[in-house]
Amino acid sequence: MNSDSVNNIIQLAALASVVDGHASDQEKNLIVEMGSDLLNTPQEQIREILDRCIETFKNQELANNSEVALHSGLDALRSLDPSQKHLAFYICEKVIYQDGIHSGEIEFIHQLDELDRTAFS
């Protein structure tokens, strides 16, 4: 898998982790483990991408603006092929369930999936 695809999948997972207002350590550790295993990428590299994404999202206050978060997620999905999208949504779903479902998390993923289906079909 190319580095752009890895970055985009981790970006989507990071969005799923911050959409409830914060990224827990459990969520971050899960993203690093799954990213490394499923994307065949060193954990250190996944952690760097994840930390950079979370910091960017905090600065942009994406957790407080679901519309901007959705557009950011849609941009990340744009270059992924169908199997990579499936993998990204799988990781996002695991992240959401990692520390219990919080307000807006499931809705975010469903809305992102709907946008993806309509925008790229």
Residue 85 has pLDDT above 80, yes or no: yes
Distance, CA of 71 to CA of 37 (rounded, Å):
27
Would you call 1 helix, strand, or coil by DSSP?
coil
117 — pLDDT class (breaks 50, 70, 90): confident
pTM score, two decimals?
0.88
If we measure between CA atoms, which residue out of 103, 39, 101, 105 comes closest to residue 69?
A: 105
Both tokens assigned to 106: 């499931």
Query: In the predicted model, is pLDDT for residue 86 greater than 70?
Result: yes
Q: How far is CA 51 from CA 7, 14, 25, 47, 75, in A?
A: 12, 9, 11, 6, 19
Q: Tell me, what's the pLDDT at 100?
A: 76
| More confident site: 63 or 56 | 56
Q: What is the pLDDT of residue 120?
A: 63
